[in-house]
Structure 1
Amino acid sequence: MRSSLGLGLDVVCVLVFVGIGRGAHHDGVDVVGYLSALWPFLVGVGGGWIAWRVWGRAELIFPSGVGVWGTTVAVGMGLRVLSGQGTAGAFVVVATLFLGAALLGWRVVGRWALLRRR
């Protein structure tokens, strides 16, 4: 798999997470608010890709997927705290579960499709 596709899928997962979250809280279509909620998690994805050296092996569930997932949540929450955004316990749980399902989910599906093709 091309690294750009894997990174793109990880970014889409974060875009969807933030979009659903903002929609669920009736925050409306506010570009500044969306970007404010988005950037900590995008930095987390980037940090995960760098920390876990994901390029060339983005489709691996472990360590790539699990590493990106953990880093995305940890960095995203840390940056939210530093920037004065909320990190309520329920939000941390929902973010961890959703991002885990999304960031690992596309890898599981991709792995399954690859094995099936063989």
Structure 2
Amino acid sequence: MSSRRVPALALAADVIAVVVFAAIGRISHDESDGLWGLLGTAAPFLVGLAASWATPLVRAHPVGLRAGVVALGGTAVLGLLVRAAFTGRLPLSFAVVTVVSLAVLLLGWRALSLLVSHRAEQRAVR
């Protein structure tokens, strides 16, 4: 795969992870405002994700777990701050669920990618 495609695919995977997080949250709370509602829920976290992707580490090695931790931190912290600024509240339970859910999604695909890559390298050596 070309070196230009990897960052684009990694960014797409991160955006999908954030949208899935927002969709699951909306479904679990029976919120059905359609696409606009989903975008409104995802927007603060997409802002955080964009800020994370502005860092050199994430741009240089987007599939690495370190980049995943930076993406998680920026997405969760900035997303929660932006959300709190607009809603005027930030329940602790929401913050905990947000961080855990985003960790599973943003770190999960990276861990799976690294595992598959490692397995492919092992097979190529044989």
TM-score, normalised with respect to structure 2: 0.86
Q: Which of 83, 87, 90 is matched with 1:84 structurally?
A: 87
Deviates more, 1:7-16 or 1:31-40: 31-40
CA RMSD of aligned residues (A): 1.4
Q: Which of 103, 115, 118 is matched with 2:118 structurally?
A: 115
Q: Which of 48, 56, 70 is matched with 1:67 structurally?
A: 70
Task: Answer yes or no: is 1:99 the counterpart of 2:64.
Answer: no
Greater CA radius of gyration, 1 or 2?
A: 2
Task: Among all aligned residue pairs of Structure 1 and Structure 2, give the percentage whose two residues are the same amino acid.
Answer: 31
Structure 1 unmatched runs, 5+: none
- Structure 1 Cα separation of the partners of residues 85 and 50 of structure 2: 18
Q: Give the structure 2 partner of residue 3 of structure 1.
A: 7
- Structure 2 Cα separation of the partners of residues 38 and 85 of structure 1: 17
TM-aligned CA deviation for residue 51 of structure 1: 2.5
- Superposed, 1:15-30 pairs within 5 Å as 15-30=19-34
- Structure 2 Cα separation of the partners of residues 52 and 102 of structure 1: 21
TM-aligned CA deviation for residue 32 of structure 1: 2.5
Q: Which structure's residues are more often helix, by fraction?
A: 2
Q: Which of 41, 44, 47 is matched with 2:51 structurally?
A: 47
Structure 2 unmatched runs, 5+: 122-126
- Structure 1 Cα separation of the partners of residues 9 and 29 of structure 2: 30
TM-score, normalised with respect to structure 1: 0.92
1:15-44 Cα distance to aligned partner (Å, 9 max, x none): 000000000000014333222111100011
Partner AA of 1:115 in structure 2: H
1:59-100 Cα distance to aligned partner (Å, 9 max, x none): 1001x0100001100000110112126421111000100000
